[in-house]
Every structure is written in structure tokens, then in C-alpha cells.
Structure 1
Amino acid sequence: MRSLVLGVLLCALPSMLNAACFVDQTQTPGKTHCWDSADKTWYAVGYNWRNRNCMNCICRYGIKLEMRCCHAYPTSIKIPDDCVSEFDQKTCTHIIHKKDDPSTECRIISAAG
């Protein structure tokens, strides 16, 4: 049982360390909205959204007004050699299938980010 718990922790650690996030602190102080240049849209403080670049974002006050965004998908995946990954921009997911048979799905060996 202890080995299982250790295995789960070791698998989770890379995704926590490799999270692909950024914080935009160039928002105008004193304002009540953040500007997302990907969507060309203003979002109110406290609002969460997913933009067109598959980033989960939040507009918030820290020390000052900021927009924090993180990838909504793994940025690094390991798959079997006989499989291929295609990224679906509409669903923000990786579609993994056999190279010679797109109707046969493959499993992800590991993922981070």
C-alpha cells in the first residue's frame, strides 16, 4: 500500500512542478476589469474563464490588479511509440490514437503541465 501511495505522489509531482502559467500584472491599477488580449475581451475582477488559447484565467487583485492564466491541458505528454497525439483546439484536449488506425484510442503513459 505504501508503494502505491508513493507511486501516485511521484506521478503527480511533475504536473505540479511544470504547470505552465503566467501572471500579467500590467493591468491598469484601480480598474475593475482585466484585458485578455487572446480574446480581445474585458473580464470583471473575480471572473474565471477559458480563453481561445486554451488557458484558464482569472482576473483578481493581489498586491495590484492582475490576470493569472494557466494551460487547461497537459503541455508535455508521453504516449506509446505506435500512437500519435492530435490537439483539439475547440475542446482543449489531446486526442491520442494508433498511427495506423485513428479509430483506436491509446492511453497516455504520463503527462505534465
Structure 2
Amino acid sequence: MASLTFGGLTLMQRKLVPGECTDSYDGSKHPSGSAWNTSECMSCECNHGTMSCCSRYVAIAHLEGCTSYLDKETCTYKSRKINDPSKPCDVP
């Protein structure tokens, strides 16, 4: 599998069985020409047995006094105050 990261985005490409791709995240099979979203917030395509995926989210910059996490339901990063996780951080 080849993987490339740039600008906070990850692109992965994997050559598999011709005409079919097996999702490396959950093992599901997809026919050539199909596209799907994974539970890991990746957008994938299968073309001629090659699976290509890229992230559906953009990472946010480090915010002083905050911690960030990927919300897998919305596929977005969220930030919370380290000293009070009930409060979100203001993103400039």
C-alpha cells in the first residue's frame, strides 16, 4: 500500500484483485467504479482493482491550552480546553 500525506490530507492507494477492492479498514468488498466512505472518516474509490482513499477531514492547528480530537460521527476535528473539557476552544 502506498501512502502520501500533504497539507493535513492523507491519500492512500492499494492495488488489489482486478475488478474488486477490499476495504483495508473494515474488510468489505467493493466493485470497480464504486465509491464509499469508511468509518475511519476516509473517502475511498475502487478503479480497476486499485483502492484510493483520502481523508474527509482537515486537521486544525494546535491551540494553546486545548486538546483536539477527531469526531468520527461528523468527521471533523474538535477542540476542548485541557483544564475544562466541557468547554470548547475558540478556533480563530
Unaligned runs of at least 5 residues, structure 1: 1-13
1:26-105 alignment runs, 5 A limit: 27-29=16-18, 31=19, 33-61=20-48, 65-74=49-58, 76-105=59-88
Pair member with larger Rg? 1
Q: Compare relative contact order (CA 8 Å, sep 6+) and give the higher one, 1 or 2.
A: 1
Give the CA deviation at 1:38: 1.5
Cα distance in 2 for partners of 1:38, 1:80 equals 30
Cα contact 2:21–2:51 (8 A) shared by 1: yes
Return the offset for 1:44: 2.0
Q: TM-score, normalization: structure 1?
A: 0.61
Question: Which residue of structure 2 lines up, in the alignment, with residue 7 of structure 1?
Answer: none
Within 1, Cα distance between the matches of 2:63 and 2:24? 37
Question: 1:20-59 CA distances to partner (integer Å, 9 max, x unpaired)?
Answer: 111112x222x3x211131111112222111132221001
Q: Name stretches of at least 5 consecutive residues in structure 2 with no aligned partner.
A: 1-5
How many correspondences in the alignment? 87
Task: Report the Cα offset of residue 105 of structure 1.
Answer: 2.1
Percent of pairs with identical residues: 31
Q: Which has more helix, going by share of residues?
A: 1
| Deviations 1:64-95 (CA, angstroms, capped at 9, x unpaired) | x3110112223x53232111112223333222
